[in-house]
Structure 1
Amino acid sequence: MILHCVFVRFKSALQAAEKQELYEAIAGLKTVVPGILDLKAGPNVSAEGLNGGFLDGFIVTFESPEARDAYIAAPGHIAVAERIVAAAEGGLSGLIVYDLAA
């Protein structure tokens, strides 16, 4: 299994409705890309204050590294990823992507 963790620092001008649309688009990938076992998305709820300004994120659980690789190349993922990058503060520098073998 692979846990694909993505943390986002959205632009401050991003409206709540736009953020919700992005969360829905991310959740929709589960029905389009095979090999996704679970997907969670939402705002950070940690009380530790150690988020470094990354207040939103999502975690996708894949059945295998191959499923994760297919997801990365999938047109649906690419379209959603482009929307996320456009909404992130500083584009790609407003993202952290971390994959963990579980």
Structure 2
Amino acid sequence: MILHCVFLRFKSALSADEKKELLEAVSGLKAKIPGIVSVSYGPNVSPEGLHGGFVDGFTVTFESVEARDAYLPHPDHVAVGERLVAATDGGLSGILVFDLEI
């Protein structure tokens, strides 16, 4: 399985409702793209203060590397990804992706 971790630095002008709607769109990909086991999202709750400005994020658990690789170019993922890029501070520099094999 693959744990796909995405950390976000949203634009400060983005409202809480706008953030929630975007993250719910990510969660909705589970119903549209095969191979997604689970999706979780929310704010960083670490007390360490080492977030580097990435204070929101989500994880997607995939059943396999192949499922993750099929998700990346999937049109529904691309559409949500474009919306996330537009909503983050600095575009792509406002997104950090880290995948773990679990």
* TM-score, length basis structure 2: 0.98
Alpha-carbon deviation of 1:85? 0.3
1:27-66, Cα deviation, whole Å (9 max, x unpaired) = 1001000001111011111111111110000010000010
- The equivalent residue for 2:63 is 63
After TM superposition, which residue ranges in structure 1, 4 or more long, deviate above 4 angstroms? none
- The equivalent residue for 1:24 is 24
Q: Specify the code of the residue in structure 2 equivalent to 1:50.
A: L
SS at match of 2:72: helix
Please list, as runs of the form range in 1=range in 2, the aligned pairs for 1:23-102 lying within 5 A after superposition: 23-102=23-102
Q: Specify the code of the residue in structure 1 equivalent to 2:73.
A: A
For the residues of structure 2 that align with 1:39 and 1:16, how far apart are their CA atoms? 19
- The equivalent residue for 1:13 is 13
Q: Specify the code of the residue in structure 2 equivalent to 1:97.
A: V
1:48-93, Cα deviation, whole Å (9 max, x unpaired) = 1111110000010000010001110111100000000000000000
For the residues of structure 2 that align with 1:43 and 1:60, how far apart are their CA atoms? 15
For the residues of structure 2 that align with 1:73 and 1:53, how far apart are their CA atoms? 27
Unaligned runs of 5+ in 2: none
Q: What's the C-alpha RMSD, in Å, of the aligned pairs?
A: 0.6
Unaligned runs of 5+ in 1: none
For the residues of structure 2 that align with 1:44 and 1:31, how far apart are their CA atoms? 25
SS at match of 2:47: coil
